[in-house]
Amino acid sequence: KAGVTQTPRYLIKTRGQQVTLSCSPISGHRSVSWYQQTPGQGLQFLFEYFSETQRNKGNFPGRFSGRQFSNSRSEMNVSTLELGDSALYLCASNPGSTNEKLFFGSGTQLSVL
């Protein structure tokens, strides 16, 4: 099976712009979660989707939003970008059960100038 695919691999944006990141989970996986990874904070949970519904949300401002499509692919959107949004954004999928492990993508490196 193909792994979790994230596109694009790199993004450079300027403050105030918005950005959309994409994640395609492993075939058959219905849960997709998003994490922000920074050197100082490690991985921080953004949100998790299952069957197009957000089941859990982290402590990020409303500028961070996401959605999941019927084919389980997910997108994450960040509006009004700030310098502090520069980070590696990781997507992870799993079949959907709470006792299943996470399968991570390679991430999208976002740089905000």
Partner 1 sequence: AQRVTQPEKLLSVFKGAPVELKCNYSYSGSPELFWYVQYSRQRLQLLLRHISRESIKGFTADLNKGETSFHLKKPFAQEEDSAMYYCALKSSGTYKYIFGTGTRLKVLA
The residues that touch partner 1, with contacts defined as CB under 8 A, are 3-4, 31, 33, 35, 40-45, 48, 50, 55-56, 58, 90, 92, 98-99, 101-106
Q: How far is the CB of 57 from partner 1 (least distance, A)?
A: 8
- Contact between 34 and 108 (Cβ < 8 Å): no
Of the pair 14, 52, the CB lying nearest partner 1 is at 52
Assign 55 to helix, strand or coil.
Answer: strand
Of the pair 42, 84, the CB lying nearest partner 1 is at 42
Of the pair 33, 74, the CB lying nearest partner 1 is at 33
